[in-house]
C-alpha cells in the first residue's frame, strides 16, 4: 500500500487499524505520513507527524 501511495505521490495514509513495524519504517523512509487507530477525534501518528496539526 505504501509503495503504491509513494508512486502516486500521496503524502498521507490513514487507517482504522495499527500499522506493522515494517510499514512504519517504510513510511519514514518514503516521507509518507502514516496515521492509525483513527477513532472519532483520536489517532496515533506513526510517521510524518510534522504534517498533522491538531
Q: How far apart are CA 7 and CA 19, in angstroms?
A: 19
pLDDT, position 13: 97
| Number of Cβ within a 10 Å radius of residue 23 | 19
* Secondary structure of residue 6 in the 3-state scheme: helix
Kindly list the domain boundaries of the chain, sorted by start residue.
2-51
- Whether 54 has a pLDDT exceeding 90, the answer reads no
* Secondary structure of residue 45 in the 3-state scheme: strand
**pLDDT tens digits along 13-51:** 999 999 999 999 999 999 999 999 999 999 999 999 999
Amino acid at each position: 500500500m505504501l509503495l503504491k501511495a509513494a508512486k502516486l505521490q500521496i503524502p498521507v495514509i490513514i487507517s482504522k487499524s495499527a500499522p506493522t513495524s515494517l510499514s512504519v519504517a517504510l513510511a519514514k523512509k518514503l516521507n509518507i505520513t502514516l496515521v492509525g487507530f483513527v477513532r472519532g477525534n483520536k489517532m496515533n501518528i506513526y510517521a510524518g507527524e510534522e504534517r498533522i496539526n491538531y
